[in-house]
Amino acid sequence: HQAALAVLASSPRIHFLASVDHIEAPLIWDTSSITKFNWIWHDLTTFEPYTVETSYENLSTETKEIGPRGVLHVLASLTENAKGVFRVLAEFQIAESIMDTKQSAEMPYNSYFTMCRDQFLVSNETTFRSQLTEFRDHKVIQSRHAPDGTEFVFIPLPSSTLETILESM
């Protein structure tokens, strides 16, 4: 695979951007591959303890859900509007749990979009969908489809945890 990528990278119209966290990174490729890739090396050592650098590993794609620390980390990197999109769903789920209804605390996609648009957090469905994709990629928000095709969206965390996250935002 490396050889095929190196051939692609040698094309003047194809560019690769990569990050390597390995002490012997320059030794991973042979001279021919390095020439084809034409890497530009930048040392971006953080000097943080290794425990800090690896503290976000719970964001792995292996897990189906994310913990509160992971959610806060994801939210810290997002715009205020994106945080608002999260807040709308979290507040809905908290309110539903307080009402103690027999229904689950899932919000219909259309209602969620309408609430976010009405609060000027998103201007169109494409923007909203891209926000949801970001949250889904990091396991912050999940969705399911009902038998009638309705999409429901939810945060896979208990209300008490959502309250703590909202207080920390």
Question: Residue 20: its pLDDT value, please?
Answer: 78
**How far from 85 is each of 108, 135, 139, CA to CA, in Å?**
14, 10, 15
Question: Residue 68: its pLDDT value, please?
Answer: 86
Q: What is the DSSP string of 50-100?
A: HHHHTTTGGG-TTSSS--HHHHHHHHHTS-HHHHHHHHHHHHHHHHHHHHT
Question: Residues for the chain: how many in total?
Answer: 169
Question: Residue 30: its pLDDT value, please?
Answer: 78
pLDDT tens digits in sequence order for the chain, 169 residues long:
788 888 898 888 998 888 877 666 777 777 788 888 888 877 777 776 666 555 555 544 445 567 888 899 899 989 999 999 999 999 999 998 887 655 568 999 999 999 999 999 999 999 999 999 989 988 899 999 988 989 999 999 999 999 999 998 8
Question: Residue 55: its pLDDT value, please?
Answer: 56
Question: Residue 100: its pLDDT value, please?
Answer: 65
Check: CB of residue 128 under 8 Å from CB of residue 134.
no
